[in-house]
Amino acid sequence: MKTLLKKTPISISRLVLTCAPFLCASGCSNLGTLEMVPADIAVSRTHAGSVRIEAEGTGRSMGIGPRLVSSDELERALREGLVEAGIFQTVTDSASSADYVLGVGIDSVEEPEMAIEMEAQVTMHWRLRREGDSSTLFERTLVSRHVADEMDADFVKERKNLALSGAIRKNLEQGLAAIAALEL
């Protein structure tokens, strides 16, 4: 056994080169904000006043590696969706000038399996509260899914990212439509 190991050593670089494509296919990078921005929001009414966003992205897989979705990316997508839809009069960063606080956090992400059709599922918790007295005006957990296939992207990593960003985008569309439907 000792002679076998001496004759056929596996170098670290060879191991890394062999495993790298599989590791990257399972997701080496974050999703981009642009793919998550909601496009079609059914705005039934707009609200006077300003809103501040508190966003919480995903954690790291098993405590290591990059986050799938950073809090900053999620906040940017929410901000762009709110501004584009015109749900509130203004979107602000200042706690002192906000009438409302919209808290959105990603509770769980079911990443797609490596396949031709890749489906992702995202569960997000939504909470709108009044800034002054912290009364909760809206609280809901929303689940959304999105499928990406070989027509959307050739590479597995791209399909996975498209499935995840699509599921997040759909969740943002559902949540913002529900916020727009509120009577505040």
Please write the tens of the pLDDT for every residue from 2-47: 554 444 445 443 433 344 344 343 444 456 566 788 887 878 889 9
Percent over 70 (pLDDT), the chain: 70
Confidence class for position 153, pLDDT limits 50, 70, 90: low
For residue 81, what pLDDT is reported? 93
Angle at alpha carbon of residue 135, lines to 134 and 137, rounded to 5°: 125
pTM as predicted: 0.76
> CA-CA distances (angstroms) from residue 136 to 81, 100, 101, 102, 104?
22, 10, 10, 10, 13
* Consecutive H or E run containing 84: helix 71-85
Give the pLDDT score at 5: 44
pLDDT of residue 15: 36
Length of the chain: 184
Domains of the chain in sequence order: 42-180 (3.40.50.10610)
Which DSSP state fits 156? H
CA–CA distance from 181 to each of 2, 150, 178 (Å)? 71, 36, 5
User: For 90-112, how does the pLDDT look when each residue is reduced to its tens digit (9 = 90+)?
Assistant: 999 887 889 999 999 999 998 76
Higher pLDDT, 130 or 27: 130
Nearest to 163 by CA among 20, 3, 31, 65: 31
Q: What is the pLDDT at residue 159?
A: 75
Task: Judge whether 77 and 33 are in contact, CB under 8 Å.
Answer: yes
